Structure 1
């Protein structure tokens, strides 16, 4: 997470700038905001904690991320992605330091991540497109954006 010499956001932005013009323009386009859990064994990968995992339909050890994609009926393209760090991680500076989490990274809810500058910056990539927002509803919630 912290030792990469390249920016994941720069890569996503570069790909989006090349691909977005080719995505079909005669069908509706959507912003898709999603929280995705990736099942993990052990507790040493950054962000792993016991939380709901769509893949298996229950709680288990997993990493979670919030993503923003542009989608049409034929294609989707991720334009922003951010790892979610639960308080189990952010409340333990020693664990974060040992795994390379930058000191400036603090707890943020999934709602805060979805509305953060990083995702807002990605929205500007295709701001001239009229799009409908779509938010996946997490298990047991109406929308992770409004907290209902």
Structure 2
């Protein structure tokens, strides 16, 4: 639970940074367009904006990939193969490592949810069985005590 909260906090921080960067570049582009700045300078600002945005997207992808693969390994859930089409992509801004694509994240999350559902069903089945046994023993004790 603590790991999940830390993950969500880091994810929220990255999304706030992404929003702040986007807003600051949007203002810079508007100011450059309002002033008669050369088109090359405006394009340079737009390129910087795209680069910063893509770096933050990669950080988000790395964070999500690390978190989900750690959870999958702990629960012995299969991680999508690197050979599977459209499941992995290579980062090119921050590092050369591979991260899960949106499809890969979705598939891994589905697998994790399925595994968690099976575990919950197993615990519920054991609890129901134990409740039945306790009820039967209680009834037997009540009958023999009369």
TM-score higher than 0.5: no
If the length of structure 1 is used for normalisation, what is the TM-score? 0.27
Larger RCO (CA within 8 A; separation ≥ 6):
1
Q: More strand by proportion, 1 or 2?
A: 1
Structure number having the greater helix percentage: 2
Q: Which has the larger radius of gyration?
A: 2
